[in-house]
Amino acid sequence: MTTGKTVRKTFNTSGLCFPGDHYMVNPLNRMHEVEQLIEQKLYFTLHAPRQTGKTTYLHALARKLNAEGKYIALVVSFERAGVGSMPLDRANEVIIHSIFEAACDQLAQLHRPKNPTNKQFLDLKQYLRIWAKSQTKPIVLFIDEIDSLLDDVLISILRQLRDGYQSRPKYFPSSVALIGLRDVREYKAKIREGAASLGTASPFNVKAESLLLKNFSREEVSELLEQHTAETGQVFTNEVKEEIFCLTDGQPWLTNALARQVVSKILGDDYSKAITLDVVKEAKSQLILRRDTHLDSLVDKLREDRVRKIVQAIINGDNLPVDIFDDDILYVRDLGIVGQTDPLQFANPIYAEIIPRIMTSSIQSSIPLEIRTPWFVNPDGSLNMEKLLKEFQLFYRRNSGAWLGRYEYRESAQHLLLMAFLQRVINSGGEIVREMAVGNGRIDLLVKFGRQEFALELKINRDEYTIEDGKEQLGRYLDRLGLKEGYLVIFDPAEKSWTEKLYYNQVPMGDKTIIMVGL
């Protein structure tokens, strides 16, 4: 059911955004320095995580430049040449055909390069050189999906672009932008072991800048949602808009996906229905459980060693491992898994929830069937947290030996075991809010069930200061939440008997009560 008004626009979660079909933030307002680099005839890189609007921005800018008439601007994807077994000469051929096909779609015939069908070109450099010589306007080339290229193909293409740089703008594109998930510094990591080394110099050392396309600002999220209100009359209140921004941190795909889930999936495009905080909360839960391609592709990166080490440090609150380098941190930031500020933490609350859930999925499947919500709910409908945690102590004693030794995410296994156990119980009727960051020495969990709130702090017993530090940290967490009681869960990895490790007791601390849970 709808209000009866015909609505053409939607919140887009796949592919390019089109002004006539989608609500969209003006892409040209998201990055202003690019046009200045083009004016200066510079080569540069533009990178951002998947589905942040890179391609939409590129096409909008190319259309603007072409309409102004000063440049010939073309957006082309090199993804078709990103096949590991493709030889170099074939890759050049595929790339050349990709450029011509893109030009047929985007440019007037007199501005297109030569049709490569039945013609022989030595390589990409020669093809671009012939194209530039045939034109009276400077060429601006936006190369999308550059980091899909592999090994020798990647090196060759970058070197050809570098070699042509000195001939610009008369005999080579005046400005070239490489667009992908990662900065050009990461391209060295693409070279497989045993392949030709790049040496210390980048094959694209002519780049002037490396730009990051940022998330939507709070104002841009509001602008996006207001477009729906203007078209349908269905209001995103200020508190709802703020909640959507806080949950997504302005990540463009998440913002659109959450809004789409609210409007179309939960409210069924009935624009007479109110958008409330509870509806947004339900949309968030559905989005996490559905695990769209965007979220799955993000989580796939957790299997990479350099990513896993950083993620585990965030979950444990540990300092970074000694073998983590600046490039590793930059890489994880480029992927969008963590934010751009210190201390390192997951990029937004939705990622902070889904990443541990995925990491614990194999554990959850092994938790006995009887461990489910009704067992821990009192007759009045409230959650019995004491019963839940004591049951986890029994579960941990029986199962931790097997799990801790063979679990893929071994360094954070203790915390993940408890989160998996809590998730199994809380899934029906509640939620878990996680606060995690590198170097804070702990993980804070807020378990919400109905109107109840339970604060838990998880720590690994590293030294003689762990427990006292934990009490103080939990006390500050309780102050922030306005609670008088909280749970300090201490995992002890030392060789001790279970009689020594397992305890459950209350400790007064000022006007608060700390419940100590030993494991």
The contacts of residue 340 (CB under 8 Å, 6+ apart) are: 212, 214, 333
Model pLDDT, residue 356: 84
The pLDDT value given to residue 414:
85
Q: What pTM does this model have?
A: 0.83
What pLDDT score does 197 carry? 43
The pLDDT, as a whole number, for residue 6 is 62
pLDDT of residue 198: 44
Looking at residue 1, its pLDDT comes to 47
Q: What's the confidence (pLDDT) of residue 78?
A: 95
What does DSSP say about strands 43-47 and 207-212: parallel, antiparallel, or unpaired? parallel
Write out residues in the chain with pLDDT < 50, as ranges: 1, 3-4, 189-201
Q: Regarding beta strands 452-460 and 175-180, do their DSSP bridges make them parallel or antiparallel, or are they unpaired?
A: unpaired
Which residue matches tokens 């999906």?
A: 145
Helix (H, G, I), strand (E, B) or coil at 349: helix
Per-residue model confidence (pLDDT) at position 124:
95
pLDDT at 182: 72
Q: Is the peptide bond before 169 cis (omega within 30 degrees of 0)?
A: yes
Q: CA–CA distance from 20 to each of 16, 24, 207, 308, 356 (Å)?
A: 12, 10, 35, 41, 38
Computed on alpha carbons and rounded to an integer, the radius of gyration of the chain in Å comes to: 27
Buried b (16+ CB within 10 A) or exposed e, 398-417: ebbeebeeebebebbbbbbb
- Sign of dihedral through CA atoms 28, 29, 30, 36? positive
Helix (H) or strand (E) holding 435: strand 430-435
Query: How much is the pLDDT for 94?
Result: 95
| Residue 83 confidence (pLDDT) | 84
Neighbour tally for 326: CB within 10 Å: 8
CB atoms within 10 A of CB 257: 26
Q: What is the pLDDT of residue 405?
A: 66
Contact (Cβ atoms closer than 8 angstroms) between residue 247 and residue 284: yes
